[in-house]
Amino acid sequence: MDGILNVYKEKGYTSHDVIARLRGILHQKRIGHTGTLDPMAEGVLPVCLGSATKLCDFLTDKEKTYEAQAVLGVSTDTLDATGEVTARAPREAVEAVTRERLEAVLPDFTGEIVQLPPMYSAVWVDGRRLYDLARHGETVERPERHVTVRQLELTGADLPAFTLKIRCGKGTYVRSLIADIGDALGVGACLTGLVRTQSGVFGIDTCARLSEVETAMADGSVGKMILPVDLPFSDCPAARVTTDDAEKLLRNGNPLRASALSGAPKDAPLVRVYEADGRFAAVYTWKKEKNRFMPVKMFLSE
């Protein structure tokens, strides 16, 4: 099977757990996910099958949207409710935080910001995962990273509990964002719940739970759940090869002259390219200095 399954990852599962379950359900080894979700998190997890696994890195880079629940006044070692409490702010200080004060600090965490990856994360430092070090009680220096938060909206405030809508780019740690907001208010905060509602073009409304995939596999309807490999490029112009020779070049991942592609604009960042029979084959981009369309990623099944 080649294509994308928009899976609803449930609480308690790791992203790797989802892949392992799907390999058993679909009887297919070539499967990859498109962005790690912590076990306590749930929501959208696009999963790539077959030739679509070449999309994994591309989809990981896409913008994501979350609904985050958090509470003020509590700090933990994992920055979320699964960890050990490391500090509690005085009740008076927490009660002094109003909705207006909370909203006032949010612009400071919007746009390009700097984050320090949490110790309980999968980041590699000196050949070891940070979470492995943290479980042994070690704390090490880790490099800061620049991330982009495009939207940070307070959608609920029954203080000290509150809810945020977060739209952000690759590599953003929502746990760190919540903790930093709490620190800015002087009382600390930790994440209590997280739902990913959007990942690129994939939304929560079209997700399928693993139990639903299993049922569909049993009754033979699972193919209806599998989305086409070219879906993530739906906003890119489409082109087809014009000759048999051009199709042979395409199948081998060779550069193509403009005359070999019908409907391929040179000013588009990416062009999705199809064989003469309409089968999606690749994504190309125009290189002026070479006077050719050059392959970016090939998707033909092996």
Q: Which residues are catalytic?
A: 38
Return the number of other C-beta atoms located less than 10 Å from residue 173's C-beta: 21
Cβ 229 vs Cβ 46: under 8 Å:
no
First CA to last CA across the chain, in angstroms? Answer: 12
List the structure tokens of 1: 């099977």
Strands 271-274 and 238-241: parallel
Cβ 125 vs Cβ 140: under 8 Å:
yes
**Alpha-carbon distance 266 to 74, whole Å?**
54
* Alpha helix stretches (DSSP H) within the chain: 15-26, 56-60, 91-95, 99-105, 130-135, 174-184, 210-219, 244-251
Q: How far is CA 7 from CA 13, 159, 226, in A?
A: 12, 33, 10
Backbone angles phi, psi at 115, to 5 degrees: -125, 150
Using alpha carbons only, how large is the chain's radius of gyration in Å?
Answer: 23
List the structure tokens of 44: 């959208």
CA 22, chain centre distance (Å): 18
